[in-house]
Amino acid sequence: MITNNPLHTTNSHYLQGGGEMGQLIRDFDWDNSVLGSPEDWSQSLLTTVSIILSSKFPMFLWWGPQLIQFYNDAYRPSLGQNGKHPKALGQRGEDCWPEIWPVIKPLIDTVLEGGESTWSENQLIPIYRNNKLEDVYWTFSYSRVTDETGTPGGVLVICTETTEQVQSYNKIQSAKNELEFAIEAADLGTWDLDPKTNKFICNDRLKEWFGLPADEEIALESAVAAIADEDRERVIEAIKKSMASGSDGNYNVIYTVKSLKDGTRRIVEATGRALFDTEGMVYQFSGILQDVTEEYQLQVRKDEFISVASHELKTPITSLSASIQILQKLVKSNPTSDKVPVFVNKASNNLNKLIHLLDDLLNVTKIQQGQLALNINRFDLVELIKDCCEHINPLNEYEFAFLGDDTLMIYADYRRIDQVMINLIGNAIKYSPQSKRIEITVMHDDERATVCVRDFGIGINPQKLPHLFDRYYRVDAFGHQFSGLGLGLYISSEIITRHNGKIGVDSTVGDGSNFWFNLPIDDKLGL
């Protein structure tokens, strides 16, 4: 109830000012309220209301046994639009706050009964405002106001709404969580250098890569010690350049890390940025690290492959072109010369080499595109192997020993298995410069046929064995120069895998190698 008469009492100076709420308090019909006319209010109530009205900090007061309410302009926005304001003024606490009364009444009672003032930070107290129940966060303190008789007169609430801060904090927190998730999923290392202290903070993954202790902060020097000797100076220069005043702060460098704990090497790409203050001084230098070992080594292998392939293709083309030039001259000068068939033969051999190399390259493309189709037939595996050896060894330069089965009918793609045998026997010959003997064994059980091609050549370093069937992979062969593209075993392995078979090798350096593969005998076994 609001009267038209402004308040004119001897106590009116206590209720001066206070903006909108001051006016509402002065206009309020207190005579008809439980508190009675302000003229009769206790000194403590008048003083407290006066403090509330003059404060720019949000304040709220519950007074008397009915907990009658006062609040100031600073508090007023917390009541929102179309909500409790202005009805909350002069209202009983219980009538105003039914939705949170069970939460706040015990706090009020504790304070009134002589307990410590309360302190709550960023507490969620949903209130009804703006036509709905809203999640509102508050930092507030309840303190007792004692009246002049020494009894508790009311509870003063000094509070501030922190909804926006809490929501911003939650947003930052969830963005941070998302970022951490992305860093985790992308297998990234992260680092942050404090240029003033030279302390280096990094995530666990980076510590593992560098072999650093689990400490929270690490001296930059320790991290730098884990950079491979050959790269260290280059990385230090890149760091200095990014942090130099006048630089754009960008940092991107690829280097090798050698774990300080176990010496494991990995190639990493570091990307970061130095941030400068207004005086051009770096205040932060941070970024991420990505393990690029695999990409880098593929890339390196690809580069090697291109150079090997160019060389491999050029050699037969050069010989072929030389043979043809000689033939052209002979055709003019001496067409019946007995050198003609020799050069025709040479030209034909080189042409075959070229066809073979191009076949390998085309096969790789087919494998990559998933187009290596199989044409399954029934045939004698032993017969195929013997034909293949005859074809490879027309002049009986090599001594082939056929062990095991004399005949073995299987279902498979004849042409593709022939291709595998050409690769394995061709390698057995190529990588055995000092030995002419090659043992070929065919065995079988109920389900599988197994073929072993054993040579007594240079053998293979055990460390290289796991990569042998990779595309473009070639082993550095103890000072020997062997031609090849590093594709034969890759293609063979794909062919055998497509047949649901397995391929492998046992080898000892200096003693030779035993390449083997097995295949299902029956076409119903998985084909």
Region of 59-67, 191-199, 388-396, 484-492 interacting with ligand ADP (CB under 6 A): 484-492
Q: Give the DSSP letter of residue 115.
A: P
The number of beta carbons lying within 10 Å of the beta carbon of residue 40 is: 12
Q: How would you write 162-229 as a 3-class SS string?
A: CHHHHHHHHHHHHHHHHHHHHHHHCCEEEEEEECCCCEEEECHHHHHHHCCCCCCCEEHHHHHHCECH
Given the rule CB under 6 A, which of 294-302, 325-333, 436-444, 474-482 is the region that contacts ligand ADP?
Answer: 474-482
Per-residue binder mask for ligand ADP (CB under 6 A), 491-520, x = binder: ----------------------x-------
H/E run at residue 241: helix 229-243
Bridge partners, 452 (sequence order): 441, 516
Q: Return the structure tokens found at 189.
A: 């290392």
The DSSP secondary structure of 71-105, one letter per residue, reads E-TTTGGGGTTTTSTTTTTT-BHHHH-TTTHHHHH
Task: Tell me how far apart the alpha carbons of residues 515 and 505 are, in angstroms, rounded to a whole number.
Answer: 4
- For the bound state, the minimum distance from the C-beta of residue 435 to ligand ADP, rounded and expressed in Å, comes to 11
Give the integer Cα–Cα distance in Å for 146 and 323. Answer: 117
333 exposure class (CB count in 10 Å sphere: 0-12, 13-18, 19+): exposed
State in angstroms the smallest separation of the CB of 381 from ligand ADP: 20
Decide: 186 and 203 in contact? Cβ < 8 Å: no
Residue from 61, 417, 485, 496 binding ligand ADP (CB under 6 A): 485
Task: Report in angstroms how near the CB of residue 300 gets to ligand ADP at its nearest.
Answer: 16
Q: Which of 80, 211, 484, 504 forms a contact with ligand ADP (CB under 6 A)?
A: 484
Nearest residue to ligand ADP, using CB? Answer: 484
The residue among 320 and 364 lying less far from ligand ADP, judged by its C-beta, is 364
Place of tokens 């390998």: 360
Find the binder of ligand ADP among 427, 442, 454, 518 (CB under 6 A).
Answer: 427
The letter for the amino acid at 33 is: S
Task: Report the nearest approach of ligand ADP to the CB of residue 413 (Å).
Answer: 19
Site string for ligand ADP, 448-467 (x = CB under 6 A): -------x-xx-x-------
Residue 274 CB, nearest approach to ligand ADP (Å): 46
Stretch that binds ligand ADP, among 123-131, 137-145, 336-344, 427-435 (CB under 6 A): 427-435
Q: Is 367 in the site for ligand ADP (CB under 6 A)?
A: no
Asked if 320 and 307 touch (Cβ cutoff 8 Å), the reply is no
Min CB(485)–ligand ADP separation in Å: 5
Interface segment toward ligand ADP; rule CB under 6 A; list 87-95, 299-307, 397-405, 421-429: 421-429
- Residue that the structure tokens 């007169």 belong to: 153
> Rounded to the nearest 10 degrees, what angle do helices 19-27 and 43-54 cross at?
150
The Cβ of residue 186 has, within 10 Å, a number of other Cβ atoms equal to: 9
Phi/psi at 443 (nearest 5 deg)? -135, 165
Interface pick for ligand ADP out of 282, 477, 495, 503 (rule CB under 6 A): 477
Single residue of 74, 206, 489, 496 touching ligand ADP by CB under 6 A: 489
Q: Classify 296 as helix, strand or coil.
A: helix
Minimum CB distance to ligand ADP, residue 493 (Å): 9
**Stretch of residues binding ligand ADP (CB under 6 A), selected from 109-117, 189-197, 259-267, 426-434:** 426-434
Angle (CA) 220 221 227, round 5°: 100
Candidates 428, 449, 452, 519; binder of ligand ADP (CB under 6 A) is: 428
Minimum distance from residue 457 beta carbon to ligand ADP (Å): 5
Give whichever of 272 and 457 is closer to ligand ADP, judged by the CB atom.
457
Among 496, 480, 400, 401, which residue's Cα sits nearest to residue 448? Answer: 496
CB of 285 to ligand ADP, least distance (A): 45
CB of 315 to ligand ADP, least distance (A): 13
Phi, psi for 271 (deg, rounded to 5): -130, 125
Cβ–Cβ under 8 Å, residues 47 and 13: no
**Smaller CB distance to ligand ADP: residue 276 or 473?**
473
Assess contact for 28 and 89: CB atoms under 8 A: yes
CA 167 to chain centre: 28
The nearest distance, CB 492 to ligand ADP, in angstroms, is: 8
Region binding ligand ADP by CB under 6 A among candidate stretches 18-26, 82-90, 136-144, 482-490: 482-490
For ligand ADP, the closer CB: 486 or 520: 486
Task: Name the residues that contact ligand ADP, by CB under 6 A.
Answer: 423, 427-428, 431, 455, 457-458, 460, 468, 473-475, 477, 484-490, 513
